[in-house]
Amino acid sequence: MSVLRALLLMAALTFAGGAAADGDDAKLPFTLQGDWRQGALLIGHTVPGNQVWFNGRALSVSPDGDFVFGLDRDEPAQAELKVQLPGAAPQVYRYAVEKRQYEIQNINGLPPKMVNPPPAVQQRIANDQRLAREARQHDSPRRDFLQRFIWPCAGPISGVYGSQRILNGEPKQPHYGVDVAVPVGTPVRAPAGGVISLAEKDMYFTGGTLMIDHGQGVASAFLHLSKLLVKVGDVVQQGQVIALSGKTGRATGPHLDWRMNWFESRIDAQQLAGAMTAKP
């Protein structure tokens, strides 16, 4: 290949974040920001009017050409983007997803009814899960996810994304949030703008719970809150105080649990917000 062609190919691969694209087509019809790593959120840009699919799912493309997708905690090693220009055949680009190692965390001494909920609360738990699932399905045209995410509060990190919790010796579902150890009553700020998609004062596991829809399937959730200061449908700005932290629901102590999703895929909020430098 010519030197020019090689340079073009290098430039294209840089834009694509180390793409293992099919063939050596120099000119990709999109750019991407983010890592091909479990728990990552990737933001893409293409020419408006192009169609994009991630692992077969059609993505919303904004009028400016922005699209977004996330890689789950257990995202398989191979992923694919498909891009179709108007009137052209779709092109497929394949990527290797970096696998992560997750912590194992043992928590003992919990009241047995919180580890294995009594049958009487199964209906309540199912209802909570349905509400959260419905909120995560929103595919709104907002583009708040393009903002640089900030920490909702500052404090020591006491739990991380992906860790497997073993409660009283029984393996439970992985922990998807980042826990910030803060006293009850600490103001919780919106890490990016959005619209409130769930506001429940008393969910069984998560206590006072809020969700923000940041657009195109990207959502934040805040758990164990002591007080909610917004309601469903409220539009919030980045940095706005939306709640006070607490220890409600199945919390072992006061902390804020911040989770992020792209639809049902669990995203690592800590990676998105980066280093906690100053008090928000």
Q: Which residues bind Zn ion (CB under 5 A)?
A: 159, 177, 179, 257
What SS3 class is residue 252? coil
Helix (H) or strand (E) segment spanning residue 227? strand 227-228
CA distance 224 to 150: 20
Q: Which is nearer to Zn ion, 257 or 268 (CB)?
A: 257
Which is it for strands 187-189 and 227-228: parallel, antiparallel or unpaired?
unpaired
CB of residue 137 vs Zn ion: minimum separation in angstroms?
23
In this complex, which beta carbon is closest to Zn ion, that of residue 177 or of residue 215?
177
Q: Which residue is nearest to Zn ion (CB)?
A: 257
Rounded least distance, CB 244 to Zn ion, Å: 17
Q: Please say which residue, 108 or 123, places its beta carbon nearer to Zn ion.
A: 108
Where do the H-state alpha helices sit in the chain? 3-15, 112-115, 122-136, 269-273
Contact (Cβ atoms closer than 8 angstroms) between residue 238 and residue 144:
yes
Cα–Cα nearest to 145, from 109, 176, 183, 190: 190
Q: Based on CB atoms, which residue is closest to Zn ion, 39 or 159?
A: 159
Beta-carbon neighbour count of residue 240 at 10 Å? Answer: 15
- Provide the minimum distance between the beta carbon of 178 and Zn ion in the complex, in angstroms, as a whole number: 8
**Sole residue written with tokens 């829809």:** 213
User: At closest approach, how far in Å is the CB of 218 from Zn ion?
Assistant: 20
* Angle made by CA atoms 246, 252, 256, in degrees to the nearest 5: 35
Residue closer to Zn ion by CB (options 55, 158) is 158
Among all chains, which residue has been given the structure tokens 């001494």?
Answer: 109
Q: What gap in Å lies between CA 172 and CA 184, rounded to an integer?
A: 26
* Number of neighbouring beta carbons within 10 Å of residue 259: 22
Residue closer to Zn ion (CB basis): 175 or 214: 175
Closest distance to Zn ion from the beta carbon of 255 (Å): 6
Minimal distance in Å, beta carbon 66 to Zn ion?
Answer: 30
Pick the closer one to Zn ion by CB: 177 or 246. 177
Instruction: Kindly tell me which of 143 and 224 has the beta carbon lying closer to Zn ion.
Output: 224
CB of 159 to Zn ion, least distance (A): 5
Task: Provide the token pair at 246.
Answer: 């607490």
- What residues form DSSP beta bridges with 105? 165
For residue 4, the minimal CB distance to Zn ion (Å) is 52
CB 38 within 8 A of CB 31: no
